[in-house]
């Protein structure tokens, strides 16, 4: 095996891990089966871990500019509300718009997801947080 093939094989663990994670997501988090659900989940996760004030922005600021229709995102957000993952509350500074707040159920889902990511990637990699 030459140096280039060795280098390529080193990354196979990454692809295998991503495939295993994807399968776990499909089996354990139905929300992640759809593109809009996936998009909202990851955006909310990203925004909620940035800082406690990140989700105080208006919805259009958080989700604007994406390749999804507003209707599709709003439909998925309503589903997430019904499932108890988020709350859409009127913004205190502007009653015309709303902000999304993750619930404890969403936070538990995110924690379970992160634990699974670590478990899967630990099979192939030594993970050290920066």
Is 70 exceeded by the pLDDT of residue 4? no
CATH architecture of the region 32-116: Orthogonal Bundle (1.10)
pLDDT in tens, 22-60: 999 999 999 999 999 998 898 888 877 775 555 555 566
pLDDT at 56: 55
How do the domains of the chain map onto residue ranges?
32-116
Tell whether pTM > 0.85. no
Segment 109-118 mean pLDDT: 94
Of the CA atoms within 13 Å of residue 128, those in its CB half-sphere come to 1
**Element of type H or E holding 81:** helix 70-82
What is the full DSSP assignment across 83-97?
TTSEEEEEETTEEEE
Cα–Cα dist 96/66, whole Å: 22
pLDDT in tens, 68-105: 888 888 899 899 999 999 988 887 887 887 778 889 99
Task: Give start and end residues of each alpha helix (H) in 11-69.
Answer: 12-28, 35-50, 59-63
Cα–Cα dist 25/13, whole Å: 18
Is 50 exceeded by the pLDDT of residue 1? no
pLDDT at 61: 60
Rounded to 5°, the CA angle 65-82-91 comes to 55
């Amino acid at each position: 095996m030459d140096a280039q093939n060795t280098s390529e094989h080193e990354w196979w663990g990454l692809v295998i891990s991503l495939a295993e994670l994807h399968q776990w997501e499909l089996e354990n988090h139905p929300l992640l089966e759809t593109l809009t659900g996936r998009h909202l989940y990851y955006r909310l996760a990203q925004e909620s871990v940035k800082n406690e004030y990140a989700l105080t922005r208006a919805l259009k600021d958080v989700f604007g500019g994406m390749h999804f229709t507003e209707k599709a995102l709003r439909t998925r957000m309503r589903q997430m509300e019904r499932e108890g993952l988020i709350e859409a509350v009127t913004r205190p500074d502007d009653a015309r718009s709303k902000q999304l707040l993750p619930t404890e159920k969403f936070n538990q889902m995110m924690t379970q997801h992160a634990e699974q990511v670590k478990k899967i990637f630990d099979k192939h990699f030594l993970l050290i947080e920066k």
